[in-house]
Amino acid sequence: MTAASTPRPGVVTVTLNAAIDQTLDVPGFAAGAVNRAVAETRTAGGKGINVAAFLAGGDTPVTATGFLGEENTAVFDALFRRRGIRDRCLRLPGRSRVNIKLVDREGRSVTDINLPGLHVPAESWRGLLTVVNDLAAANRTFVLSGSVPMGVPDTAYADMVTALHARGAFVVVDASGPPLRRAVAARPDMVKPNATELAELLGRPLNGRAEVVRAARDLAESGIALVVVSLGAEGAVFVEGGRALLAVPPPVEVASTVGAGDAMVAGVVAARLEGMGLEDCARRGTAFAAGTLSRLGPELPPPERLAELMRAVRVEEL
């Protein structure tokens, strides 16, 4: 990674399709049957919002931008106030979507039901590009995360990568489908697909870890400085500068897998901001992801627990 692309404070996360995550704790959930929830929580969500929440509270200022529906902003407003996140989100008519998570701890499963998002008018999309450009004057790390709502082109992340690189920013993309494919062509500094998203990007199945590692190396060699491929409970592959590592988390009790990938992005970004190398980035990112598995919503465990998890992460050279 060149000095010009080294991340610098502060951090801006961009969430084009924010959501309210409604999590229902449903022991023994069965499709097609009457199920009883024993607990319910509602938290501000969307991938970039989650990353901002995981990063907030440290020395680096964190700003969230993107789109929110003006009819149900209260849960987002509360998160931003509580975590000290700077709010530069644009409000649109209507409601932010609700994503329903049915968590069955007995069966160790999570069932997602994602509702449609807002429709973004062309003038609002242009307005957001102006906000992002303004934020690039004082921030040098941008995380572009999540799905693209109706009204926003598939080139959204690619366009932002190009514009932000022209301003000297370090840009992370965590997306899937056509928006990821277009963004990869613009060569962001870091991408974090999971194995399924990487296979979709390449248009071929990836059978086994060896094929995932080879594909991640190919992606890195195409001009992306850091490639992280999450493998669920098996950990994640980290590729940078010809070096590849496998980071495997310790066993943890799983309350919900929601936000674990976002926590990994936040952990890697946090480590980069502190000037850490690839192995420490892998440990921090994997510890963040493991730490959030035992919690509902975009929350990390206390610092002492995170330090314990970092020590317990097993890192292997590939």
Task: Choose the weakest-confidence range: 70-74, 100-104, 281-285.
Answer: 100-104
Residues 311 and 167: their CA atoms lie apart, in Å, by 37
Task: Give me 109's structure tokens.
Answer: 């499963």
Q: pLDDT tens, 170-200?
A: 999 999 999 999 999 999 999 999 999 999 9
Q: What is the pLDDT of residue 8?
A: 47
Asked whether residue 88 is domain-assigned, the answer is yes
Q: Do residues 281 and 313 lie in contact, with contact meaning Cβ atoms separated by under 8 Å?
A: no
Residues 123-166 have pLDDT tens digits of 999 999 999 999 999 999 999 999 999 999 999 999 999 999 99
pLDDT at 297 over 90: no
Indicate the number of domains in the chain.
Answer: 1
Inside any domain, residue 35: no
DSSP-assigned letters across all residues of 262-316: HHHHHHHHHHHHTT--HHHHHHHHHHHHHHHHTSSSS----HHHHHHHHHH-EEE
pLDDT at 296: 67
Residue 26 lies inside a defined structural domain of this protein = no
Is 251 within the bounds of a domain? Answer: yes
Res. 4: pLDDT tops 70: no
What mean pLDDT is reported for the chain?
Answer: 92
Q: Render pLDDT for 154-174 as a digit per residue (tens, 0 to 9).
A: 999 999 999 999 999 999 999
Confidence at residue 41, expressed as pLDDT on a 0 to 100 scale: 86
Q: For 267-294, how does the pLDDT look when each residue is reduced to its tens digit (9 = 90+)?
A: 999 999 999 999 999 999 999 999 988 8
Question: Is 11 inside a domain boundary?
Answer: yes
Q: Note the pLDDT of residue 1.
A: 46
Closest listed residue to residue 168, CA positions, set 2, 15, 51, 48: 2
Q: Are 55 and 62 in contact (CB under 8 A)?
A: yes
Q: In CATH, what number is assigned to the domain containing residue 196?
A: 3.40.1190.20
110 vs 291, residue with greater confidence: 291
- Encode pLDDT of 217-272 as tens digits: 999 999 999 999 999 889 999 999 989 999 999 988 877 777 899 999 999 999 99
The residue range of the domain holding 76 is 3-17+46-96+120-317
Decide which of 115 and 175 is more confident: 175
pLDDT of residue 250: 92
| Percent share of the chain, pLDDT over 70 | 96
Distances, alpha carbon 27 to alpha carbons 38, 98, 109, 120, in Å: 8, 21, 10, 37
Burial class (CB in 10 A: 0-12, 13-18, 19+), 3: exposed
- Residue 108 domain flag: no
What pLDDT does 2 receive? 44
State the residue for tokens 């990836």.
206
Rounded to an integer, what distance in angstroms lies between the CA atom of residue 161 and that of residue 144?
9
Distance CA 151, CA 148 (A): 8
Res 77: pLDDT:
97
Active site residue 59: no
pLDDT at 208 exceeding the cut of 70: yes
What local confidence, expressed as pLDDT, does residue 306 receive? Answer: 93
Identify whether 64 is part of a domain. Answer: yes
Of the residues 87, 189, 262, 280, which is catalytic?
A: 262
Query: pLDDT band at 3, cuts 50/70/90?
Result: very low
